[in-house]
């Protein structure tokens, strides 16, 4: 029997994440010539849930899950043209260290620096996170600006926060009359679907605001039965789920893979919303797919899928007041 105040199951699972590269290499049974391609030390450390590591075939690095989460020596290739530590110029949109106001009508709250996993291409991999999850100043700024009707909970990953912290957050935002919508940007259910437990669902159901979920899934291998069941629990609460993917070399840069992902998403009632061109963050240049190839991929997707299953191909340009659609540029 578990002790009375033991952490929830999802937190216990999270603590079993691989964070030690040597242990992961042993688990993946990589031969020395492939181990040599793995970066052993990095300021953006390894963080990989066991269930994702279990999806990687043994003895290979040629795998979409491996490439997304295991650091390669290519990350040390710095100075690639246009790549920087703050590719979206987020520092210039900070109202506080945790509140970004970039687009009309919505603000983004960087709720935590913690995630279920560390994606090697993350555009916030160099972000200066604030450790303490209290948002007094941010609530006041949001309350003072009636033009804002939506708050995006981002990070890191907002589902890293405890239900207690999230409840306080939702209650405080709900108390602001002009706030109508909350958007969760999360990848947690892909890595630790146990996060979507009874308590979390009850929390969502108790919120007066309209809630949207935007998940982040890049490859069909990420969407297994446990993940689908967790997402279905959210949908059964009347919440719409959108997906955004990042176009990544060696992960999802073929029409067949992307079509399979989009098909799987719509079969589960999830809208394939965006394919993002890679944000040019320092350390991720080896993931870049040229826009020309991305456009060809989208063109092929149009032939393979119904219109509603084809995501919008966009790029985020630092300083622009909306995302840039690439198909019309
Ligand atoms: S889950 Fe999101 S915020 Fe966290 S590392 Fe991945 S892309 Fe970045």
List pLDDT tens digits, range 201-255. 999 999 999 999 999 999 999 999 999 999 999 999 999 999 999 999 999 999 9
pLDDT at 4: 64
Residue 176 CA, distance from chain mean position: 27
Distance from the Cα of residue 97 to its chain's centroid:
20
Each residue's pLDDT, cut to its tens digit, for the chain (329 residues) gives: 556 679 999 999 999 999 999 999 999 999 999 999 999 998 999 999 999 999 999 999 999 999 999 999 999 987 888 999 999 888 888 999 999 999 999 999 999 999 999 999 999 999 888 777 689 999 999 999 999 999 999 989 999 999 999 999 999 999 999 999 999 999 999 999 999 999 999 999 999 999 999 999 999 999 999 999 999 999 999 999 999 999 999 999 999 999 999 999 999 999 999 999 999 999 999 999 999 999 999 999 999 999 999 999 999 888 787 889 998 64
The answer to whether 64 and 218 have CB atoms below 8 angstroms apart is yes
| pTM assigned to the model | 0.95
In short, whether 247's Cβ falls inside 6 Å of ligand 1 is: no
Number of C-beta neighbours around residue 228 at 10 A:
17
Distance between CA 220 and CA 229 in Å, rounded? 15
At 3 the pLDDT is: 62
DSSP string, 200-250: HHHHHHT--SEEEEEEE--SGGG--HHHHHHHHHHHTTT-EEEEEEE--TT
The pair of three-digit structure tokens given for residue 315, joined into one six-digit string: 């790029």
Ligand 1 pocket mutation pick from 187, 188, 222 by most atoms within 8 angstroms of CB: 187
187 lines ligand 1 (CB under 6 A): yes
Task: Round to whole Å and give the CA distance between 7 and 5.
Answer: 6
**Residue 90 is encoded by which pair of tokens?**
């987020």
By the 10 Å C-beta count (0-12 exposed, 13-18 middle, 19+ buried), 143 is classed as: middle
Tokens of 285: 């240049």
| Best mutation site among 19, 42, 124, 160 for ligand 1 pocket (most ligand atoms within 8 Å of CB) | 124
Q: For ligand 1, atom 8, which residue shows the shortest CA distance?
A: 122
Contact 292, 73 (CB under 8 A): no
Question: Residue 266 in contact with residue 235, Cβ under 8 Å?
Answer: no
Q: Which CATH architecture has domain 90-325?
A: Alpha-Beta Barrel (3.20)
For the four alpha carbons of 313, 316, 320 and 326, in that order, the dihedral sign comes to: negative
Q: How far does the centroid of ligand 1 lie from the alpha carbon of residue 3, in Å?
A: 32
- For residue 319, what pLDDT is reported? 76
Distance 117 CA to ligand 1 centre (A): 7
> Which residues does residue 181 pair with via DSSP β-bridges, in sequence order?
150, 210
Q: Which residues contact 245 (CB under 8 A, 6 or more apart)?
A: 216, 217, 218, 252, 258, 261, 272, 274, 275, 276, 311
- The continuous run of DSSP H or E covering 27 comes out as helix 21-28
Measure Cα distances from 220 to 223, 264, 266, 317 in Å.
6, 7, 12, 28
> Please, where in the chain does CATH 3.20.20.70 lie?
90-325
What SS3 string covers 58-114?
CCCCCCHHHHHHCCEHHHHCCCCCCCECCCCCHHHHEEECCEECCCCCEEEEECCCC
* Chain Cα centroid distance, residue 14: 16
Task: Work out the angle between the directed axes of helices 163-174 and 136-143 (0-180°, nearest 10).
Answer: 30
Q: What is the pLDDT of residue 322?
A: 85
- Tell me how far apart the alpha carbons of residues 117 and 102 are, in angstroms, rounded to a whole number: 26
- Alpha carbons 206 and 200: distance in angstroms, whole number: 10
113 CA distance to ligand 1 middle (Å): 9
Q: pLDDT value at position 202?
A: 98
Q: What is the structure's pLDDT at 1?
A: 55
What is the distance between the alpha carbons of residues 106 and 118, in angstroms, rounded to a whole number? Answer: 26
Of the candidates 35, 75, 27, 16, the residue with the CA atom closest to the CA atom of residue 55: 27
Ligand 1 contact, 49 CB (< 6 A): no
Predicted local distance difference test score (pLDDT) of residue 257: 98
């Amino acid at each position: 029997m578990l002790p009375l105040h033991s952490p929830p199951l999802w937190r216990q699972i999270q603590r079993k994440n691989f964070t030690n590269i040597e242990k992961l290499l042993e688990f993946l049974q990589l031969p020395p010539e492939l181990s040599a391609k793995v970066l052993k030390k990095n300021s953006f450390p390894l963080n990989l849930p066991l269930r994702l590591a279990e999806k990687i075939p043994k003895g290979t690095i040629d795998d979409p899950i491996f490439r997304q989460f295991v650091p390669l020596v290519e990350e040390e290739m710095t100075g690639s043209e246009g790549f920087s530590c703050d590719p979206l110029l987020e520092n210039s949109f900070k109202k506080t260290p945790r509140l970004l106001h970039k687009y009309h009508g919505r603000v983004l709250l960087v709720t935590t620096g913690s995630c279920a996993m560390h994606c090697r291409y993350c555009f916030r991999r160099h972000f200066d996170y604030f450790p303490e999850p209290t948002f007094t100043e941010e609530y006041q700024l949001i309350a003072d600006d009636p033009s804002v009707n939506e708050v995006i909970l981002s990070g890191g990953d907002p589902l890293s926060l405890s239900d207690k912290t999230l409840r306080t957050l939702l209650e405080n935002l709900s108390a602001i009359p002009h706030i109508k919508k909350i958007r969760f940007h999360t990848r947690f259910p892909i890595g630790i679907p146990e996060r979507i437990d009874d308590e979390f669902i009850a929390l969502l159901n108790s919120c007066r605001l309209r809630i949207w979920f935007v998940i982040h899934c890049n490859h069909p291998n990420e969407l297994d039965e446990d993940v689908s069941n967790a997402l279905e629990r959210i949908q059964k609460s009347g919440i719409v789920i959108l997906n955004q993917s990042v176009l990544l070399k060696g992960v999802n840069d073929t029409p067949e893979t992307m079509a399979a992902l989009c098909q799987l998403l719509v079969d589960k009632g999830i809208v394939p919303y965006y394919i993002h061109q890679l944000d040019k963050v320092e350390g991720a240049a080896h993931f870049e797919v040229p826009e020309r190839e991305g456009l060809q991929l989208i063109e092929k997707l149009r032939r393979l899928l119904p219109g509603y299953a084809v995501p919008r191909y966009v790029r985020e340009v630092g300083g622009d007041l909306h995302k840039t659609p690439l198909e019309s540029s």
